[in-house]
Chain A
Amino acid sequence: MANNVNQATEKPMTADRGLRSSAKSQPKGNFFKAVSAVVWKDLQAEFRSRELFSAMLVFSLLIILIFNFALELDIKTRQSVTAGVLWATFAFAGTLGLNRSMAIEKDRGCLDGLLLAPVDRSAIYFGKVISNLVFMLIVEIIVLPIYSVLYNINLFQPGLLLVILLGSIGYVAVGTLLAAMSVQTRTRDILLPILLFPVVIPVLLAAVKASEGFLTGADFPEILLPINLLIAYDIIFTAVAFMVFDNVVEE
């Protein structure tokens, strides 16, 4: 490769003598730095290529479109169905993001690179969860106004936004764990929705119920119940995933 040879003559190789001693790895106090490094790396890579992001967005819009044709919605029915349509959309589009995020690590052996770092495995988990969450939230934030415009419903209520946040957290907490597993099997992408959906039903149930509540202006005590369930689910599954993540990435 001619390109290669040119590079060779450009700069002489210098022996590694300079900052060797100060370059030693210091594993202590590394956890948060590692988490933020993973998050930043994912965000950076995604802002460059925007592959994941555009795929999720387009997919979401297509799903909404399909729902529009599949369900003949008059103005009254629309009100009651909006929460469900939104969450179904997020659930499906979410799998794209989860799959891709893990596939990137698996494909070029980067997962090994992450595992070689002298840092607790859970740092990888939390880093991935946060970056997956960010992607999902960005897509959701864009879908909301579009849906609002298409169906003439104001979706920008703080209560609804809270539900979307809590629901997304639960979804991503479990999804990241399961995606880490599915990406290592032969069936890869197809397997993730099959694994994820049955297990994430409580999130969908509670999120739809709470969203409906906010959209139809129900009493607060009624809405509080599903929100509490969301919070409980988020805490329980983040804790469980954090504890078992080692088993999923190590040999």
Chain B
Amino acid sequence: MQAKPVTLKVLDIVSIVLLGVSAYLALVFAPTELVMGDVQRVFYFHIGTAWTALLGFILAAVFSIVYLIKKDLKWDRLQVAAIEVSLVFFFITIVLGSIWARPAWNTWWTWDPRLTTAAVTELIYIAYFMLRQGIDDPDRRARFGAVYALVGGISAPITFFAIRLFRTIHPVVIGGSNAEAEGSFAMTADMRVAFFFALFAFTVLFIDLFWNRIRLGDLQEKVEQLKLKVTM
């Protein structure tokens, strides 16, 4: 049984530390926003998790293509890890978006293109796991998973643009510095520090969780192999 590599252990600790620093920057260091007040601080984490989720999403689509070409199950394990991590982070993004929306615009949900696309992508992920659940053969499971992840990977961005172009009743709300957005605000220098640090911290967190999840998948695979040896 392999022990956790030292690098990973270090990364675990580094991620937690970075997360802590980011929290400090977001909650204490950054100035309070003029219009929305303290609730705006959620924005830093919201962007962080959204970014990580997006990263996972893109990786998953890439792994799909690689698996379909190479047919090596290693890529399938990578894809599952990416989608799982992305699933969790999209969920957090949605919840944070909701928390932000309530005090700021007096509503629990906005049909903002980004938030809505996040929700749709979440549903695609859930469907992905349900699809895999119903298949016993590992090769078929991997193939079908890759096909669906690819289809979803192409469809979600199109959904985003479609909502943005067509649904004029619900403009881009979660703006950041987007001038069109209702909820936009200008970022001061201090805010920018918190903002970019959050992005950095969450990227490290993503790598850490992703690596851990891959390791978990590999170990699961080993267990299956050992099980087989014992029963023969």
Contact = CB atoms under 8 A, between A and B. Distances in A.
A195 B124 CA distance: 7
B144 interface: yes
B148 A229 contact: no
A35 B139 CA distance: 28
A177 B152 CA distance: 13
Nearest to B71: A247
Contact of A202 (B127, B135, B139, B159): B159
Nearest to A197: B123
B88 interface: no
B141 to A, nearest CB: 9
Interface string A209-228: 10000000000000001100
Contact of A187 (B134, B159, B163): B134
B150 A244 contact: yes
B150 A191 contact: no
A195 B148 contact: yes
B147 interface: yes
B68 A247 contact: yes
B150 to A, nearest CB: 7
B179 interface: no
Contacts of B161: 229
B166 A182 contact: no
A60 to B, nearest CB: 24
A185 B146 contact: no
A24 interface: no
Interface stretch (A12-20, A67-75, A161-169, A232-240): A232-240
| Interface SS of A by simple majority | helix
Given A187-B130, A198-B123, A174 B151 contact: yes
A143 interface: no
B158 interface: yes
A206 B135 CA distance: 33
Interface in B137-167: 139-140, 143-144, 146-148, 150-152, 154-155, 158-159, 161-163, 165-167
Interface string B109-138: 000000000001101101100110111100
Given A233-B158, A247-B143, A199 B130 contact: no
A185 B134 contact: yes
B151 A178 contact: yes
A244 B121 CA distance: 21
A218 B135 CA distance: 48
A202 B121 CA distance: 13
Contacts of A182: 131
B231 to A, nearest CB: 23
Contacts of B154: 236-237, 240
A233 B161 CA distance: 12
Given A205-B163, A206-B162, A244-B68, A199 B151 contact: yes
A185 B135 CA distance: 5
B148 A178 contact: yes
B97 to A, nearest CB: 18
Nearest to A204: B162
Nearest to A188: B134
A152 interface: no
A205 B120 CA distance: 13
A197 to B, nearest CB: 8
A181 B140 CA distance: 10
16 contacts: A177-B147, A178-B148, A182-B131, A187-B134, A191-B134, A194-B130, A197-B123, A200-B155, A202-B155, A205-B163, A205-B166, A233-B158, A236-B154, A237-B151, A244-B147, A248-B143
Interface of B: 68, 120-121, 123-124, 126-127, 130-131, 133-136, 139-140, 143-144, 146-148, 150-152, 154-155, 158-159, 161-163, 165-167
Given A181-B148, A198-B155, A202-B158, 6 more contacts: A178-B151, A194-B127, A195-B127, A201-B120, A237-B151, A248-B147
